[in-house]
A and B are shown apart, each in its own frame.
Chain A
Amino acid sequence: MKKLTLALSAIAAAFSASAHADITVSGSANVAYLSTAASSDAEKLAVGSIASFALSTTTDTGLGISASLALSADYDTDTAAGVDGGKAVTFSTGGTSIVVGDVGVNDTIGSIGGVVNGPLDDQSGVSSNVATGFGAAADDDGLGVSFSTAMGAATLSIDYIANTAANNFGVLNPDSGESAMGASISVPMGAYTVTVGVADNDNGSSAAGGTVAAALGSGTLTVGYSNQTIDNGDSTLLSTTGDTTSAGATYSMSMDGATTIAVGYNSNKDADSDAASKMELSIERSLGGGASVYLDMVNLSGDAATDGTALGFGTAVSF
């Protein structure tokens, strides 16, 4: 019998990876009713859909190469459908992923509290006076390289943007342009996962922060802190260059096999001493078959152009 099993193993030992190229199509749609915080015309209906084409192949040596682009009608603008993506190519192995082209750096790392996504996240109508990130005029994405690898159980990412004014074609390190870089690492430590990161734009803005996430009860608790140094020349919200500090937390839990509830809180303050607090709530229920219904709420208070509460409910569908 041992001989037989050895023979079987010998047959299988001849196994080797084979090249495999593929083009797949998937998509999504979102329909939502929004009661925004705007002082007039507060009620809105948002409808959008996306068809995404994913292109991939695997070389004989096991190197994965992929790209994607999408056709979409955005749910937050009343414009014709357009094409997006296709400006980056990813090379991946089991140990490393490298993205070349349109990449980004996280200029608000550690600033958490957002649990609402989709139409209400884009069109809640609330608008804070607190400056965040690299500032509105500075880019946190552009033409560059993003590298992510494993270090044992930890994951390290390093991003470099050589030209924030370009995405898939442009000058590397333009004389009059901006570049940016960022790095982050996530390390599991027992029941906790700690993520810390830094980002820097050569216009003078920078950011540093971190989060700690852990399973708590039947959900996941994440707390975070971020410090962002923003040049007032890059933000219309600032009169002086200085630091924005942000602290927040989120908690997400599954109520049953189909329902998820998530709450988030974030408080931040900038160099002008503008301060605001934001609370978010999201309840989602899966209907099966790739569809779900959801109820979202966003509340902003403090120094804000528009504060108040916005609500939204709708359905998200995956095709």
Chain B
Amino acid sequence: MFKSLWILFFLLISLISIQSCSKGPLGGDHAANMAKLDKLYGPCNNPHRKIIGRDARMLCEDKERAAGPSGKTTNPISITSFAQNFNNGGVGSNYQGLAINPFLWQASLGILDQYPLKIVDSQGGFISTEWIMENNSPNQRCNIKVTINSQELVSNGVKVKLICQKKTDDTWYNESTSYTSEENDLTLKILETAIQIKVENELS
């Protein structure tokens, strides 16, 4: 009876937890907490990280040791990405003459096509809009610069910068205001669109 109750308890907690996307049922960020404990104890000795099996422990310890104090180690090779690139005839690499990821590039162009574009450099992975002005704010203008710096579809493969100016006495001056939130939102939108294009490309 006691054991059955334990199983029921686990199933219940599991159900609750699975329904919670970013926070645990009791609050807090588990991934962030684990990262702190990894740093304190080391990933292989973190009391809450379940490393079961001799090989898993060997791998963890070797990697931790090889990484040194920086904790940086070699990145795993993605077989999935490799297979997808192969099936796409090399899309995702510079096979087609692009030195940057074509999905990120297409997504960036698609999102910025509502504005006049001043610079479109497919080899350098750089897009810049003309100055964008609103009718009700004639004394302010912005432009958007997008830089793609990766051949892989990765989250840090695209950077967005908003530069805004305000006109005073017929002279345009750069604003000191930071638009970090808008830049991040636009970056996320480009990434989302790039993933959608990639999925559609694979299904077609």
Using a CB–CB distance below 8 Å, which chain A residues touch chain B? Answer: 1-5, 8-9, 11-16, 18, 20-30, 48, 50, 52-54, 61-63, 68, 70, 72, 74-75, 84-85, 87-88, 91-99, 102-104, 106, 109, 117-118, 141, 145-160, 162, 172-173, 179, 181, 184, 186, 188, 193, 195, 197, 211, 213, 220, 222, 252, 254, 256-260, 284-286, 289-292, 294, 316-319
Contacts and interface: CB of A to CB of B under 8 A. Distances in A.
A162 B26 contact: no
Closest 8 CB pairs of A and B: A286-B68, A150-B28, A95-B24, A12-B185, A28-B62, A96-B17, A24-B76, A94-B22
Q: Interface on chain A toward B: helix, strand, loop, or mixed SS?
A: strand
12 contacts: A9-B181, A11-B111, A14-B189, A26-B76, A52-B59, A97-B34, A103-B52, A149-B24, A186-B48, A286-B66, A290-B74, A292-B67
Given A150-B29, A152-B27, 10 more contacts: A3-B136, A15-B192, A28-B63, A54-B76, A88-B50, A102-B53, A150-B24, A257-B70, A289-B74, A292-B65
Contacts of A98: 14, 17-18
Contact of A96 (B24, B44, B73, B137): B24
B29 A94 contact: yes
A28 B70 CA distance: 18
Contacts of A284: 65, 68
Given A3-B134, A316-B65, A12 B47 contact: no
Contacts of B91: none
A84 B60 CA distance: 14
Contacts of A25: 76-77, 79
Chain B interface bracket (under 10, 10 to 19, 20 to 34, 35 or more): 35 or more
Given A23-B78, A29-B62, A91-B18, A184 B53 contact: no
Contact of B30 (A8, A28, A50, A97): A97
Nearest to B179: A5
B58 A72 contact: yes
Contacts of A14: 189, 192
B30 A290 contact: no
B58 to A, nearest CB: 6
Q: Interface on chain B toward A: helix, strand, loop, or mixed SS?
A: helix
A106 B137 CA distance: 64
A158 B68 CA distance: 31
Contacts of A91: 14, 18
A157 B17 CA distance: 13
B62 A213 contact: no
